[in-house]
C-alpha cells in the first residue's frame, strides 16, 4: 500500500519559515509527479506547488511564488516544501499528493497524505 506522510507543520509568526516533508512508502515513485495542496476551513482545496520525480519540471501557484520552494530527495522518497515569509493567509492544512500526470488539478492525483496543519499568526 502506498502511504504519504506529511510532517513539519506548526505555529509560526508572520514572516517566519517552516519546512514541510512528505515521506512516501509502499511503492516505487519514479514515474510520479508530487504535489502540495492546502485547504483552509470553508474553502476548496487549492494547488500550491508540484514537481516531477526527476525534478525537471516545477510549477508554483502565483500566491506562493518567490516565497515557497518545492524539492525532492529521491533516495529517501521524500518531497519538501520550504515556506518562507509566511503570511496569515497561508494558514491551512497542507497535503502531499502523488500521481502519474504532472498537474495542478487535485482529481488527477492518485495518492494523498493525511495533512499537516500550518498556522501563521499576525
pLDDT 10s digits, 45-97:
999 999 998 778 999 999 999 999 999 987 888 999 999 999 999 999 999 99
pLDDT at 37 exceeding the cut of 90: yes
Tell me the per-residue pLDDT of 87-113, one tens digit each, with 9 for 90 and over: 999 999 999 999 877 889 999 999 999
Instruction: Give 56's contacts (C-beta < 8 A, 6+ positions apart).
Output: none
Question: For residue 105, what is its C-alpha cell?
Answer: 488539478
pLDDT reported for residue 28: 76
pLDDT at 102: 86
pLDDT at 1: 84
* Cα 115 to Cα 57: distance, rounded to the nearest angstrom: 24
pLDDT recorded at residue 122: 93
Q: What is the pLDDT of residue 27?
A: 79
Q: How far apart are CA 103 and CA 40, in angstroms?
A: 21
Amino acid at each position: 500500500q502506498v502511504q504519504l506522510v506529511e510532517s513539519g507543520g506548526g505555529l509560526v509568526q508572520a514572516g517566519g519559515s517552516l519546512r514541510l516533508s512528505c515521506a512516501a512508502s509502499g511503492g516505487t515513485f519514479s514515474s510520479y509527479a508530487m504535489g502540495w495542496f492546502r485547504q483552509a476551513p470553508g474553502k476548496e482545496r487549492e494547488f500550491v506547488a508540484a514537481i516531477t520525480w526527476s525534478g525537471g519540471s516545477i510549477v508554483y501557484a502565483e500566491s506562493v511564488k518567490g516565497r515557497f520552494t518545492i524539492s525532492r530527495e529521491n533516495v529517501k522518497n521524500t518531497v519538501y516544501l520550504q515556506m518562507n515569509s509566511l503570511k496569515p493567509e497561508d494558514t491551512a492544512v497542507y497535503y502531499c499528493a502523488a500521481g502519474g500526470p504532472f498537474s495542478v488539478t487535485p482529481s488527477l492525483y492518485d495518492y494523498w497524505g493525511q495533512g499537516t496543519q500550518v498556522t501563521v499568526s499576525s
